Amino acid sequence: MCTLPPGIRPTIAIRALSAQDSRSLEWHGGQDRRSFYDQQTRAHLAGEIHVFVACSAWQGNPDFPIGQAAIHWNGKPTHPAIPDIQSVRVHPAFRRLGIATRLLVECEQHAAARGHGRISLSVALDNPKAQRLYERCGYRVVGAPYSDVWFYADAAGQSVRVEETVLDMIKELD
């Protein structure tokens, strides 16, 4: 895995996803998740979701997407009236630099600007670091854990089923 040299603090910019970003995000999941990123890009361009990417100079690209977070405007089955943040991820070489927090803030501000008073997200029970981050950012657990299931097509075109036990969290926006 690539890592940043000690003491390096990269310049990070947050912007909306562009159609050219899809392949650059494959650092998470590789070609097996290509269908996921392609669908995400289509939904973003159609306005069904809004995806923010964190970018920095990396691997010869001055605007390489090193993180992302997506707002799903139609929420999710447990909270359909509340926009839902999904797919928050930061490249391993850039973790612990505040990038996930910056992505969350962008999502929150964007939702508030569209008139939403709350925003939600889910966190896997086996990801306590993410849950602590979300709690520090003002998200509170609502309800009991439940099984969340989603699918994507891998590089061979086979359907892959992903199941994880998650907690819903909601934040009141100012």
Residue 106 has pLDDT above 90, yes or no: yes
List the beta bridge partners of residue 146.
166
DSSP class per residue in 97-140:
SSHHHHHHHHHHHHHHHTT-SEEEEEEETT-HHHHHHHHHTT-E
Domain residue ranges of the chain, discontinuous segments joined by +: 13-172
Asked if residue 3 has pLDDT above 80, the reply is no
Q: How many CA atoms lie within 13 A of 18 on its CB side?
A: 10
The confidence band for 8, taking pLDDT boundaries of 50, 70 and 90, is low
pLDDT digits (tens, 9 = 90+) for 151-164: 888 888 899 899 99
| Angle at 31 (CA atoms; ends 26, 35), nearest 5 degrees | 90
Query: Contact 58/66 with Cβ under 8 angstroms?
Result: yes
pLDDT the model gives residue 6: 56
Cβ(174)–Cβ(121) under 8 Å? no
The strand pair at 49-58 and 61-72 is best described as: antiparallel
CATH dotted code for 13-172: 3.40.630.30
Average pLDDT of 56-76? 89
pLDDT, tens digit (0-9, with 9 covering 90-100), for 86-104: 999 999 989 999 999 999 9
